[in-house]
Amino acid sequence: MLKDLSLEKILNNLTMGIAILDENRNFIYINDLTTEITGYSLSDIKDLDQWFEAAFPDSKKRNEIYTAFKNKLISGEHYNKVSEISTKSGESKFVEFRVNPVNNNYLLVNLMDVSRRVEREKEIKYLSYHDGLTDLYNRRYFEIEMERLNDSRRYPISIIIGDLDKLKTVNDNHGHLLGDEYLKKSADILNNLLRSEDIIARIGGDEFAILLPETDREETSHICRRIIKEFEKYNSANDFPVDFKISLGYAVAEEDNKSLFEIYNQADKNMYKNKGRK
């Protein structure tokens, strides 16, 4: 019944790529899907070294992956890893490799293109740590970074808390779309003023928080003045119906003898004090 169904036909109709290497690590078989995923056919790639050279043009990355791969084989274990490869056309793809030693020291390689899955996972991770409106980090990420920096050597560490003035008035009298514009413009100002290593987050409806590693009290005070000045400059140059202003408070951890969560609470209290003076 199966006499017309050759092994090659079966392998070429599988939903995963298949490659087989002999004991000398020469490729002896590559199915059509492997060629579709990588761009390489059996005539392009002769042996394992040539494959690594082609798929991982960056020598540092190539050596890391090759070492891990070789160590797995030496210990007789299966190798299972998702790696970003360069295809024959130069396109980058994420491919899941499963390599199994088989009889007589041959290797059976299964591979699947998981680029869509990896990109989706990245997107989900990004959304879980970012505010959808302003594209700043969210409270969850800010708290993770406070935990991380608690155990770092990047002191002094400063925290600034900011609260937009009269955002509720804007939302109630002019609509939430305009309120969103106030929030997005605030995010733009903070992003433009601060360093790439600073953590800026929207932590509530109208509240922002800034985490400043290796920043002392004098520098933090200067940053606060610059932020206030930039808000005032924008406020005077644009036609917002309600003043575009922000109240700020900050606190500084000079050494690691205080939790950054305590510093956060102190900065929050200082912000409300300053807000009450307006």
Distances (CA, A) of 215 to 14, 24, 45, 206: 58, 57, 53, 25
Distances (CA, A) of 20 to 6, 11, 152, 184: 17, 11, 48, 54
Task: Dump the DSSP string for 153-174.
Answer: S--SEEEEEEEETTHHHHHHHH
**Which residues have a Cβ under 8 Å from the Cβ of 85 and sit 6 or more positions away?**
38, 55, 56, 92, 93, 94, 95
Catalytic-residue membership of 47 = no
Q: Which of 228, 188, 187, 209 is nearest to 268 (CA)?
A: 209
| Residues 100, 122 contacting (CB under 8 angstroms) | no
Looking at 113, 131, 163, 206, which residue is catalytic? Answer: 206
Q: Which residues are catalytic?
A: 206
